Structure 1
Amino acid sequence: MPGVKEKEYKKLPGISAPGIFVYSKLYLAKDHLLRVSNIGFSEDYKRFFFKDIQAITLRKTATAKIISYVLAGLIALLATAAILFSGDGTILYSSIGGFFLIILVINLLRGATCVCTLKTAVQIETLGSLGRLPRARKVLARLQPLIAQAQGGELTPEEASSRMQELAKPPGEENFSAPPIASDMLAFIEPPVEPPPATI
């Protein structure tokens, strides 16, 4: 991280790489999160101070399941082809099937996919590096006490209920003047989205 003192920051797990030479990472500082986005040879820095964070939400998605279904279908087709063909054909189809099997195992081990968003009084940002649910939960568990400490304590049940209703409003109806959210209501998980049947 050029221009940033390394000892002041600790890299959090995860990386978002939506394209070639395009990626973002999260770093933890004493009083804020730092998101470093790389686009080609340029870097962009954005800080989210703990005292300003109103909510960090997780929404489970079906992307990982869909990927698994597609890979499983491809593996089944390649296994069938390996059985039907002999000689070099068997070796070729088995090798390709083994490659897809490795990808399938890695996808399963990484866990469910999710969308993680961070909300302050003036913005809502997607944290792309927290795109896997197990990793995102670990990071949020680490952030929760830091945000609670920065905001001076816990929310009462009434405040938590009010804040949940506020977050449930459509984007056009959001009230950005709502008080910050802290600690136990920092994150919530929406019901999982069931993927459509896979078609090969």
Structure 2
Amino acid sequence: MKGIMLKDDPNYRRLKLRTTGILSSASYWMGKDHLLIVVLDGYRENYRRIYFRDIQSILLRRTNGWLFFGAGCLLMALLLGALPLSAGDAVGYWMGGINLAIWLPALA
């Protein structure tokens, strides 16, 4: 894997960015005059080299991805937390409390 080899190369510094998809992930490496993007998808590695002199602008924008994440965590908290609590016995209270303690902080 090239990513492991880049870690030992003094010409590259790994950036703290990491992108993950359903079946792929990407890591970002900064060289002296370029940015190297390594995309891993299954058994393939794709490399993109972007020279700093070619970058004209950097755009940042807020997306609604956090809404889907929050809705998923809320659904998990309700299903895995409230259903065992409705059982009415000690095991249900413990299971519901543990699940609520796991999923509710993800909403904050």
**Interval of TM-score (by shorter of Structure 1 and Structure 2):** 0.7 to 0.9
Given the alignment, which residue of 29, 32, 50 partners 2:31? 29
**Aligned residue number for residue 14 of structure 2:** 11
Comparing both structures, which one devotes a greater share of its residues to strand?
Answer: 2
Paired letter, 1:31:
D
SS in 2 for 1:92: helix
CA distance in 1, matches of 2:83, 2:34: 53
Alignment partner, residue 118 of structure 1: none
The number of aligned residues is 104
Q: Which amino acid aligns with 2:17?
A: G
The aligned amino acid for 1:12 is L
**Paired position in structure 2 for 1:126:** none
- Displacement of 1:88 after TM fit? 1.6
- Identity over aligned residues, as a percent? 24
Where does residue 57 of structure 1 map in the other structure? Answer: 59
| 1:40 to 2:53 alignment | no
SS in 2 for 1:46: strand
Instruction: Give the alignment's TM-score, normalised by structure 2.
Output: 0.75
- Partner SS, residue 54 of structure 1: coil
Where does residue 97 of structure 1 map in the other structure? 100
For 1:29, the aligned partner's letter is: G
- 1:186-197 maps to which residues of 2 (within 5 A)? none
List runs of 5+ in structure 2 lacking aligned partners: none
Match of 1:85 in 2: 88
Distance 2:29 2:66 in 1: 25
Q: Larger relative CO (CA 8 A, sep 6+): 1 or 2?
A: 1
SS in 1 for 2:58: strand
2-side partners of 1:23 and 1:37: how far apart?
6
Taking only aligned residues, the RMSD between alpha carbons, in angstroms, comes to 2.6
Could you list the runs of 5+ residues in structure 1 that have no partner in the other structure?
109-200
The answer to which of 7-16 and 80-89 deviates more is 80-89
Distance 2:41 2:69 in 1: 26
The one-letter code matched in structure 2 to 1:25 is S
Q: Residue 55 of structure 1: SS of its match in structure 2? A: coil
Q: Post-superposition shift, 1:67?
A: 2.1
